[in-house]
Amino acid sequence: MKKQLIAVALLSALGLAGCQSQSVETPKPAPCLAECQSQKFDVVSQGFVDDLWQLSPTWAMYSGFYKYADQLVVPDAQARLAQAQFIAKWRAQLAPFTKAPLTASARIDMALITNLLDKMEWEATRFKSWQWDPSGYNVAGPFATLMNETYADEDTRLRAILGRMELVPEYYQAARNNISDPTLEHTELALLQNQGALTVFSDKMLAMANASGLTPSEKALFETRYFEARQALQSHIGWLETKVAELKRDGARSFRIGESLYEEKFALDIQAGMTAKQLYHKALEDKAVAQKQMVSITKQLWPKYFPNQAMPADSLKAVRTLIDYLSVKHVKRDEFVSEVRKQIPELVQFVNDSKLVTLDPDKPLVVRETPAYMRGFAGASISAPGPYDKNANTYYNVTPLDGMSDEQAESYLREYNHWILQILNIHEAIPGHYTQLVYSNESPSLIKSLFGNGAMVEGWAVYAERVMLEQGYGGFEPELWLMYWKWNLRVITNTIIDYEIQVKGIDEQQAMSLMVDGAFQQQEEAAQKWRRATLSQVQLTSYYAGFREIYDWREEDKARKGEQFDLQRFHETFLSYGSAPVKYIRELML
């Protein structure tokens, strides 16, 4: 009896016995709340990423994951079926988490994965650019990466090239089978860039293999596949040449996608919490603000540069006159790339001195001439490593002007004059794209680093321009501020022309007038932007959409915190969340 009483007392102490009963109740398991559910979700999301890399080994490579680097996916019906099965599988895997309590960070990762799956399905079944955009087919990029990036020893990389080359002929055959009713503009771009791809499959690649540690049988197979790949590429180039001639003779489908597809693409790509039409109207309002700022600075500077000349009554004409006068100050055409390279250390020094954001000196930034297979779309761009290979080089691609006539080069250099070239380098490099992508790779959330939001990425680069000048870069020189507003007006106009070209159907002459007359751009820059707007959709809106969200959030946070607001802390906290959409970063910071 004594033992029984002791046992009851012990159970009571542990909360396992009732007042009147000696029976033992089985304890109920603790509910799996937000932290617990998020841990389960993290396991599933990692499985998603692992599965995605098998589906898309090229995307994996560009993210710095080389496990499947020797595999080339042939873009045929079987590959599209595999993608559809992938989408269905992961929607089912993620379904249990749609109503589960998750932490804010996990909830945002869930939203990013869901958006990615929706976008994959939309592009394959609704947008169908795989049918009308031949520029989507080019094998060169991954091969160039394997040639140049030292993620592994040379023999390992050559074996990956060897494996990947096997299916190059089948790849291009599938591409030709897919293409039906293409646009002329995308076919011409495909021709240009695939011609550039021949520079990757050069004598250098074969010589590299012959001088390597590959076995004699591997070297023999490498040579066979190398020539087969080159021949397949040359055959595809010939096919594209014929196709371009046919489209010029017989006519081609319009590159314009129309309002419905545009709004759908905008929602998936930008994720801004507003429609494309709403952003377009905001841009029209900000255009007037930027022009007003430029008129004010022109009034300030007019007596300095035109002391004996009355300022025109047409204020926009006065702005154009001053900009044209200042724009003759620019670098020589054969020094364009070297000048970009020279300015980078100066920007680093200013950012460090101003304590805008902490820069990592061990993350290499390499300024290089844009590779031939990448030319024809943008004059300057960043090629950054992914989070798996975060210590690899980031390349700042700058296209030299050797392909331009003297007239074209002079127009281009006036656009990227002494002041605007500095703003371009801020945007692309320090503390713009390069800096943001280094931080993104360090984000504890792999999802937020890998599946970056274009509006956040471009928006940060545009925001970086403003904050550098606000903090005194250039010594508050009014000429620099005038050119800044010209550049910012270009960002705003990007949104306006992209919407009006794709949705409203304006022609080249109308678009050129918006850029040259309304935004003070040089003829060559406007011509290149028209070309870019015919080759892409929505992407040109990402600069303004992201900038507007970031700048507005900073001002809101500054007002909320008052004297406790710290600009460097704001920047580093903002950047720590990878490349997630701004609306989600704001939520996490709050």
Percent of the residues in the chain that have a pLDDT greater than 90, as a whole number: 85
415 within domain boundaries = yes
Based on the domain organization, do 354 and 459 belong to the same domain?
Answer: yes
Region 8-17 average pLDDT: 35
| Cα atoms in the 13 Å half-sphere on the side-chain side of 368 | 15
Region 560-565 average pLDDT: 96
Based on the domain organization, do 109 and 44 belong to the same domain?
Answer: yes
Alpha-carbon dihedral angle through residues 134, 139, 144, 150, given to the nearest 10 degrees: 130
Based on the domain organization, do 427 and 287 belong to the same domain?
Answer: yes
d(CA 550, CA 431): 15
d(CA 436, CA 459): 10
Looking at 74, 109, 127, the residue that finishes a domain is 127
Q: What pLDDT does residue 12 have?
A: 39
268 within domain boundaries = no
- Domains of the chain: total: 4
Three-class SS of residue 398? strand
pLDDT band (50, 70, 90) for residue 522: confident
pLDDT in tens, 527-544: 999 999 999 999 999 999
Q: What pLDDT does residue 280 have?
A: 97
Instruction: Tell me the DSSP string of 54-87.
Output: HH-HHHHHHTT--TTTT-----SHHHHHHHHHHH
d(CA 200, CA 206): 10
Percent of the residues in the chain that have a pLDDT greater than 70, as a whole number: 95
Task: Assess contact for 478 and 326: CB atoms under 8 A.
Answer: no
419 within domain boundaries = yes
d(CA 527, CA 286): 23
Based on the domain organization, do 93 and 239 belong to the same domain?
Answer: no
Based on the domain organization, do 159 and 113 belong to the same domain?
Answer: no
Based on the domain organization, do 192 and 86 belong to the same domain?
Answer: no
pLDDT band (50, 70, 90) for residue 452: confident
Task: Assess contact for 388 and 63: CB atoms under 8 A.
Answer: yes
428 within domain boundaries = yes
525 within domain boundaries = yes
Widest CA span in the chain: 116
pLDDT band (50, 70, 90) for residue 365: very high
Region 412-427 average pLDDT: 95
Q: What pLDDT does residue 214 have?
A: 97
Residue 2 domain boundaries = 1-30
383: left (phi over 0), alpha (psi -120 to 50) or beta: beta
ω before 431 within 30° of 0 (cis)? Answer: yes
Based on the domain organization, do 79 and 99 belong to the same domain?
Answer: yes
Region 292-303 average pLDDT: 97
Based on the domain organization, do 162 and 223 belong to the same domain?
Answer: yes
Q: Which amino acid is at 176?
A: R
pLDDT band (50, 70, 90) for residue 391: confident
d(CA 142, CA 157): 11
66 within domain boundaries = yes
Task: Assess contact for 381 and 319: CB atoms under 8 A.
Answer: no
Query: Chain-wide mean pLDDT for the chain?
Result: 92
Based on the domain organization, do 48 and 87 belong to the same domain?
Answer: yes
Looking at 255, 287, 314, the residue that finishes a domain is 255
473 within domain boundaries = yes
Based on the domain organization, do 324 and 433 belong to the same domain?
Answer: yes
Looking at 127, 161, 177, the residue that finishes a domain is 127
Based on the domain organization, do 193 and 319 belong to the same domain?
Answer: no
The pTM assigned to this predicted structure is 0.86
260 within domain boundaries = no
Based on the domain organization, do 71 and 179 belong to the same domain?
Answer: no
Region 406-420 average pLDDT: 94
